[in-house]
Amino acid sequence: MQLFIAAFDSVPDPRAENVRHDLGEILIIAFIAVLCGAQGCAEMAQFGRVKLKFFKRFLRLKHGIPSHDTFSTVLRMIEPRELDAAFGQITARLVAALAKGGVIAIDGKSLKGAYDKGRKSSPKMMVSAYAAGLRLTLATVAAKDGNEVDAALEVIGLIDLKGKIITADALHCNRRMVKAIVDKGGDYCIGLKGNQDSLLSDARACLSAADEPKAGAKALPTAKTETKGHGRIETRVAVVVEAKGLAEHHEFPGLKAFGRVTATRRIDGETTTDVRIFALSRKLSPAKLLETARAHWQIENALHWQLDVSLGEDAARNRKDHGPANIAVLRRRALDVARLDPSKGSLTTKLKSAGWNHDIMLAMLGRMSQMR
């Protein structure tokens, strides 16, 4: 617990000097409440009141448990970057364990319930960097005015990319993004679609030429995987070709190769095919391309999906000022803590167990300290 208390004490307090409740104590209660399933400020306050004796083992709580209005005010005022950075201090040693060549997936997620009145079609958005191998959130940034591209660039600036492979969808296939990745010593594997029409056309030409090699030339190696389950058979075939001279021609920093993954799915006798093309700053082997493309979907399946299923993010209605972004940060970091728990069972069960049993909760928090 002391690890979290020390980290939260580093968050700047934007309130007046005469406030009654300590900022670090408010954040500790808020975070543990979210870890145990709280979805808003009223539930944070109620959780604190129910667990008052427990929290007094670690916190002074000179004026008792803050009201829900106090939780709301604090979370609306503090900078989400500062809160996320506090968690970064806690996970720094874990992040250092990310192996060379490890995949960091970048993607945005809408907070569907966090929209201003009359703007239901424009919910707030968070962009995260997710270490697929560690199943750990590295950094999270709120997208100002829904600008996911700029938020992704800010996320890139917050993390160490040296020796890592950065994956993202075609929205982030732009010169600013790839330059930022290369400048920080990383490699990229980014989806390539019509938003880079000229580059996509040349990629298709290179891949078509590889499909029909000249007489006497060796066919390019491919890699293939097949998965079966739940009535579905999916086959993926990958190929990688060099992009000779095209980095300069298109002024696209670091471009070395193009990759293609062809996925064929057969479900209940019906077959569909999906072809994805990637811009690569390193000529990956076809097998590595398959592995990397597969790893990217961890951010959807292990982070975004779990945020909705286990922590009810889509249903959350926090929407004022920094409140939605800060609670979103707490949710993501709560999942990090829960995933370190080695016990069997779903994440939802683990989160509920932490709320029911103090020893389980303390064991979860303690594992973060043990990893340092």
Q: Give 126-148 pLDDT, tens digit per residue.
A: 999 999 999 999 999 999 988 99
Q: Which residue ranges make up each domain of the chain?
A: 2-78+340-370, 92-303
Please give the pLDDT value at position 231: 79
Tens-place pLDDT, residues 60-115: 999 999 999 999 999 999 999 999 999 998 888 777 777 778 999 999 999 976 66
Please give the pLDDT value at position 122: 65
Please give the pLDDT value at position 355: 94
- Residue 113 CA to residue 222 CA, distance in Å, equals 44
Structural contact between residues 310 and 289, judged by C-beta atoms closer than 8 angstroms? no
Please give the pLDDT value at position 230: 76
Please give the pLDDT value at position 49: 97
- Residue 29 CA to residue 21 CA, distance in Å, equals 12
Report residues of the chain scoring pLDDT below 50: none
- Residue in 153, 45, 26, 41 with CA at minimum distance from that of residue 86: 26
Please give the pLDDT value at position 340: 86
- Residue 341 CA to residue 186 CA, distance in Å, equals 30
